Amino acid sequence: MMVTRFAPSPNGPLHLGHAYSAIVAHDLAREAGGRFLLRVEDIDGTRSKPELSDAFRADLAWLGLEWEEVPAQSTRITSYAKAASRLKAQGLLYPCVCTRTEIAAAITTMGPEGPIYPGTCKRCPPDNTQGAAWRLDVSAALKRTGELTWIDALAGEQIARADQLGDVVLLRKEAPASYHLAVTLDDAADGVTLVTRGRDLFAATHIHRLLQELLNIPVPRWHHHPLLVDGSGTKLAKRRGSPALADRRKAGEDGSSLAANLRRNLFPSGISLQQS
């Protein structure tokens, strides 16, 4: 059975881009007679605002969507810790005590998701690992798994180029797990068969595919949809003035009509789907 999900983080209100993403995931599941899940990704305790989760539910209902809600990330911390211990036991994680400033000063390579960690703490392990972040040793991991592939419904078969992102953090200093580890485990635990999300997370999937192999968990398919962008081609974001769905809802706009328009790729003036 097809299972899709919408997995918003409660660190800002949902905007049109989220509405589009939720509708894509919802409709793909419904067309296949499958299930559409909502999972609140509230692992970042410093930025998460619990009251936003209720607003998310109200927004989705206003758009006319129906969903099954699965447990939020904050209830799943033990599973992240267990998986990280397995990876540590395989010698695939190393502690990193570099500060952001130290990393910024040492960066030499840019990847698709930003600067690549230069491997300082891999070459020169810290004496004291208290408060360290733990990074995945991607080259050691790839040696173990060999070449991996994954399938995007729109872009076709991909070779998992986890090396493009460098040694990503899996256990963060200030949060129980990183996005990469948590989302990979959660999608497997929730039985998601088609991971539907924006194209901005395409590169992250290379790492997720590698983690699935290392942790021996099921491999779904992916559907990375194009992003909604503003007139300057920039991804919509609340901080750049994209109106919150909650504001539209409270102003009395009809959510079902908005959803119907998004389904037909009819966007408010100045907003369009990014061409790849």
Write out the residues near ligand GLU by the rule CB under 6 A: 7-9, 41, 183, 197, 201
State the nearest-atom distance from the C-beta of 122 to ligand GLU, in Å: 27
Q: What is the maximal distance between C-alpha atoms in the chain?
A: 59
26 or 197: CB nearest ligand GLU: 197
The runs of H, that is alpha helices, within 157-274 are 179-189, 204-215, 245-250, 255-263
The runs of H, that is alpha helices, within 9-96 are 16-31, 51-62, 77-89
Under 8 Å CB-to-CB from 201, ≥6 apart: which residues? 224
| Cα(243)–Cα(253) distance, integer angstroms | 12
34 or 126: CB nearest ligand GLU: 34
197 or 249: CB nearest ligand GLU: 197
State the nearest-atom distance from the C-beta of 183 to ligand GLU, in Å: 5
Q: What are phi and psi of 33, to 5 degrees?
A: 65, 25
24 or 183: CB nearest ligand GLU: 183
Give the DSSP letter of residue 244: B
215 half-sphere exposure, CB direction, 13 A CA radius: 29
Task: Indicate the residue whose CB is closest to ligand GLU.
Answer: 197
State the nearest-atom distance from the C-beta of 107 to ligand GLU, in Å: 24
State the nearest-atom distance from the C-beta of 41 to ligand GLU, in Å: 4
State the nearest-atom distance from the C-beta of 8 to ligand GLU, in Å: 5
| Cα(38)–Cα(6) distance, integer angstroms | 5
State the nearest-atom distance from the C-beta of 168 to ligand GLU, in Å: 14
9 or 178: CB nearest ligand GLU: 9
44 or 167: CB nearest ligand GLU: 44
